Amino acid sequence: MRLPAALFLLAASLAAQTGFRDRMREIPADRKFTVADQSDSPEPSPNPKGWYHSVAGVAATAEGLVAVYRRSDSHTAVSTDIMVAYSADGGRTWTGHHSISHLDVWQDQAVWVAPQLSRLRDGRLVILVDRGQRRSGADWPMLASWQKPGRGMSNHVFWSHDQGRTWKGPFQIDAVGGEPGYIAELSDGTLLYTRTDSAVSDKLWNPPQPWGDIYYKNAAVLSDDGGWSWKRTASISDNPFQGDCEVGMAEVSPGRLLAATRIGFNNGGYGQPSRLIESRDGGRTWLEDDARLAPFYGQRVVLGKLASGKLLATYRHRWGGPGTYALVFDADERFEFQPSIYVWDESRVQLGAEALTIHSGEGPAAAVDYSLYPAQAPDSRVEVEAELRVEESEANGTAISAGAWVHILPDRVFLGDRPESGFALDATSWRRYRIVRDEGRLRIFVDGEKKLDVPAAGLETRYVHFGNRTGRYHQNRSLSHWRFVRARVDNAEDYSIDWSWTPSKGYPDQFRRSREVLLDRSVDSGYSSWTQLPDGQIVILDYTNESLESASSPSGPQTWIRAYTTTETWLTDGR
């Protein structure tokens, strides 16, 4: 349930007083167009709910736009088609939907996974797609299992020499698969794509399941003969604490490449942003030791260079409020660590001149949960300091994790995973909390006084969060006010952060609200693509179901492909 209108107006008034954007810009409804939905596929689907449309690609040709997408029965598909459609009016209407290749578990014991479309300088179009072996009744495995011999994945290409009207293929180019990215053409004519593989590590503390000790790593695959052969590879990332996968790439200047990763470790669920990794020699080597944290949390990032020279990234946003986002930035721009937030109803977070007010409600749709960089080991030192007061709170409504969960009620503070340990406190008054996990102990200080000092064993978590208790969006109603937060995380083998916030900086997630643009808010969305037309217009494609429920849930609607038309100026400042 949304906040009362009076509180919504109060939030708008406070935002105006502070001068900070209180919510993201969103592509206007009149700039959103349907590319493909159920009406474009009269053939019956194996799924009674209809067809699931996903993984959209778009390219500009001399005759207009070409879209490529996957039509299947579900995300974990048993029947798949690589579909092609055309637009002659800049992405507003689409016609000519047809399949260029079909795979299903009954006839082929295989499915197409994620087709990626590119246009080369000579006018050729190329689709790169991974094929996964799968029999009827077999599961949709995680990538590391799917790539193993006996199950098997491989990558294939389709070529078009006539603006996408006809296609030749598939031609197999490897026996790896691995969620390949789109093919990019470099200034020297080299073709490059990225793919993911896996390895085993003993460095991970309490590794999340189902991955266990398996982590993802990523490599560039290069062709020196226009795509006929792909003989060269180069490691982009090999780090068990990140598990980089689904890497997007753009050439910034001749020989200088920038890659943007998806965090595969726990599917990004601990709150790690994407990473930016450079190559200075045309992709032959990659400077992973100098990789920096991106200001966004992207999955399947599509990164490219605009006519202005700036970069545009589109991506599914995770961890946090789900949806597809877009960001324009400069390749040389340097970013501070940016937290993420899980929030569907933006009006539940209100910024005033003196404090941030969190007014969460019951359930995920009314949750407010800020995430910071995780503590990767039990001996990682974590310190979170916060000044706040709690007017109302249910058990999971107001919580801080400094590598161990501490819950704050109006009259009591207790350990989230050991509720009997705690102390009485009038938390309705302004209090300064300092929570330290260090040297095997967890210490809680309130207004400078030590209130609790216990062994940390059994309480440790990677999460460093504040707001609602992560993953427990029930009994999470709260009304709290925050004047200060600082978090310091010291990881021996991973990134460390020292982040602080006051209302004078705007919202804790002000970068998201000011710089990132929301295409569509949806749990079931993403795997986007974009192209810029000669007149400067940008056309972005993704898939969505405009719902809090994924299409795999009983009541979640099936997805469709959508186009968004915009400009760099609008994405940058709304003009």
**Considering its fold, how many domains does the chain have in total?**
2
390 is a domain residue? yes
Q: pLDDT tens digit string along 252-290?
A: 999 999 999 999 999 999 999 999 999 999 999 999 999
Q: Cβ distance 440 to 427 under 8 Å?
A: no
Q: pLDDT tens digit string along 416-464?
A: 999 999 999 999 999 999 999 999 999 999 999 999 999 999 999 999 9
485 is a domain residue? yes
Q: Are residues 368 and 236 in the same domain?
A: no
Q: Are residues 529 and 500 in the same domain?
A: no
Q: Are residues 246 and 330 in the same domain?
A: yes
Which of 493, 508, 523 is the last residue before a domain boundary?
508
Q: Are residues 185 and 237 in the same domain?
A: yes
| CATH code where residue 383 lies | 2.60.120.200
Q: Are residues 297 and 416 in the same domain?
A: no
Cα gap 180→247, rounded to integer Å: 8
129 is a domain residue? no
Cα gap 276→259, rounded to integer Å: 6
Structure tokens belonging to residue 172: 């197999």
150 is a domain residue? no
| Residue 316 backbone phi and psi in degrees, to 5 | -75, 130
Q: Are residues 368 and 474 in the same domain?
A: yes
Range of the domain at 305: 5-99+181-341+514-573
Check pLDDT > 90 for residue 330: yes
Q: Are residues 330 and 250 in the same domain?
A: yes
Q: Are residues 400 and 475 in the same domain?
A: yes
| CATH code where residue 12 lies | 2.120.10.10
Measured on CA atoms in the order 287, 255, 298, 158, is the torsion positive or negative?
negative
Q: Is 31 helix (H, G, I), strand (E, B) or coil?
A: helix
Q: Cβ distance 339 to 272 under 8 Å?
A: no
State CA 1 to chain mean position distance: 26
Q: Are residues 322 and 223 in the same domain?
A: yes
553 is a domain residue? yes
Cα gap 355→555, rounded to integer Å: 39
Which of 461, 484, 508 is the last residue before a domain boundary?
508
Structure tokens belonging to residue 208: 């999340």
Q: pLDDT tens digit string along 99-122?
A: 999 999 999 999 999 999 999 999
Q: Are residues 259 and 382 in the same domain?
A: no
Which of 479, 508, 537 is the last residue before a domain boundary?
508
Q: pLDDT tens digit string along 139-149?
A: 888 999 999 88
* pLDDT for res 136: 83
Structure tokens belonging to residue 165: 């009207």
Q: Are residues 227 and 274 in the same domain?
A: yes
Q: Are residues 295 and 197 in the same domain?
A: yes
Residue 571: closest CA among 232, 235, 290, 306: 306
* pLDDT for res 140: 87
